[in-house]
Amino acid sequence: MIGGLTLIDDPWFYAAAVPAVLLMGLSKSGFASGFGALATPLMALVIPVPQAAAIMLPLLLVMDGAGLQRLYRDRDRDLLRLLVPAGLVGTVVGALLFGVLSVKAVSAIVGGLTLLFLAQRLAFPPRADAAPPPRPIGFVLGIAAGFTSFVAHAGSPPINAYVLPLRLAPIVYAGTMSVFFAVVNVSKWVPYAWLGLIDLRNMGTALVLLPLAPLGVWLGVWLTRHVRPDWFYRLAYASMLLTGGKLLWDGLR
């Protein structure tokens, strides 16, 4: 108990939660962004998924603040005008369908679509002069990202399916994703409270994990600024492959 707040005292929870928070911090910086989708499933090895999502939410806001401080000026304004409204629509859909679709079903859908996207990229690699993906596809995938972010903080794979083919400079990609997910995460607070996920035990546990929140972000920002663009995108696609496989496995097993 901390200041009257109860908290989870199972050591196995913290064995899963510490690496989960650090993975999410790396993802929030834009570096190896797909790995963030693994954070909630990792915590869900020892606690229910809705509780894991609730504990992660205040930590995400701290990570968002750390990321925005360093990356906000590098955002792509035009891309955000397309993606942010779509992401907010997705959070509304997530709130309305929460409890109707199981987390396993959402995991399977997100994992399957992620792997299909990667298969398409391997079978039909983009040419240097290829046109960017159509904006309506970006809006649809933005809705999907808002929805999966609401349900399990797994919004990176859908949004990456649209943004990665744009081949933005790594720091512009990181800044744009930082702003997008900051807005989406702020929008989750009221519906999470309405659904009964914000309680003293979850917030007390989040408070214990809070010092870890900025560490992964700071490390990821440094790596984003110093890793060559070709390696940055190789790591991004590798993280999507691992994330897609893990989510599909979680959904089908």
Per-residue pLDDT tens for 138-177? 999 999 999 988 987 878 888 888 998 888 888 898 889 9
What's the pLDDT score for residue 250? 80
- pLDDT band of residue 29 (cuts 50, 70, 90) is low
What's the pLDDT score for residue 4? 53
Q: How many residues does the chain have?
A: 253
- Taken in order 39, 45, 50, 55, the sign of the CA dihedral is negative
Per-residue pLDDT tens for 109-137? 777 877 876 776 666 565 656 677 889 99
- pLDDT band of residue 76 (cuts 50, 70, 90) is very high
Backbone phi, then psi, for 209, in 5-degree steps? -85, -10
Q: What does pLDDT average to over the chain?
A: 82
Say whether pLDDT at 232 is over 80.
no
Domain boundaries, the chain: 11-252
- pLDDT band of residue 202 (cuts 50, 70, 90) is confident
- pLDDT higher for 17 or 7? 17
